[in-house]
Copies of this chain bind each other. A is one copy, B any other.
């Protein structure tokens, strides 16, 4: 038995109808709705075949048919027709991504927001991992008699700061000097290298006069450095889950929301391949995501893949629409980062 043209047509109709309605669809309805010149009985026969081949299932004997993961996969790979973004959608994306700031964090926040608005799903955007980043500048600013702010800037422009109390007496000039020395020592080093460098010890002992001061600052310095390496995940459209019939069950909605808020979820995203990746239902290896579909895409800076964005929702999602939006967005993000916010003014 093989998939002839008619079978594909029927399967296509079932999948796209089910994506819209979330209701199992029967032979009679299908025949009426998509009047393809064949009787319900014929459709029934074809459906039986498709079921045997694993593309359809039955919730119970006399319910309509429901597509299986395999059917969605075929649909995504071959059956679905490409969705052309409307003018409004395009302009909304361009407008919102038209970066006012070069700050990745805020841009990503925006990206997630647009994505969830356009797809009515839960979206996410990850800032890039900074593993390959270099330290650029360190400064220590005195705020108070015993309080200082430590500011670090990385090559990629990420800024991190931390406030701490100094328990040893110090002079402003000492801070300034220390900051200069730190900058001098660590400038151009990979953040990850600094964390493992012995240089810190040397440094501390070298500078007799300021060793106490350095001692009280270094642990926090390292700590903040570590934080700079963390990727950050922005979620948006969390509440969209409530509009989806599949999650019209309090328990399911809860599990979903807990899942995406867990750290595991970030890890899952980090470990996904680059490019636009769609995993449907039980194609997901993680047990908890078995009745979701996940679409992720990579965006690039200077042609290097650095962060990810995408959506997560029910298996029954509008794959064509969602992928179109995501593709358009990543292209536009890439551009935005390349041109470097040329349009930085009102």
A positions within 8 Å CB-CB of B: 101-103, 136-137, 139, 141, 143-144, 146-147, 149, 151, 153, 155-157, 159, 161-165, 167, 219-220, 238-239, 242, 248-251, 253-254, 257-258, 261, 340-342, 344-345
Contacts and interface: CB of A to CB of B under 8 A. Distances in A.
Contacts of A253: 242, 250, 253
A253 B162 CA distance: 37
Contacts of A249: 250
A157 B153 contact: no
Given A137-B141, A161-B161, A147 B340 contact: yes
15 contacts: A102-B165, A136-B141, A136-B143, A137-B141, A141-B153, A143-B157, A151-B151, A157-B163, A164-B341, A164-B344, A165-B340, A165-B341, A165-B342, A239-B258, A248-B250
Given A239-B257, A242-B254, A159 B165 contact: no
B164 A101 contact: yes
A158 to B, nearest CB: 9
A141 B183 CA distance: 12
Contacts of A238: 257
Contacts of A219: 345
Contacts of A136: 141, 143
B143 A153 contact: yes
Contact of A344 (B157, B165, B342, B345): B165
Contacts of A165: 102, 340-342, 344
Given A147-B340, A250-B242, A258-B239, A101 B162 contact: yes
Nearest to A139: B139
Contact of A340 (B146, B161, B250): B146
A167 B342 CA distance: 9
Contacts of A242: 250-251, 253-254
A163 to B, nearest CB: 4
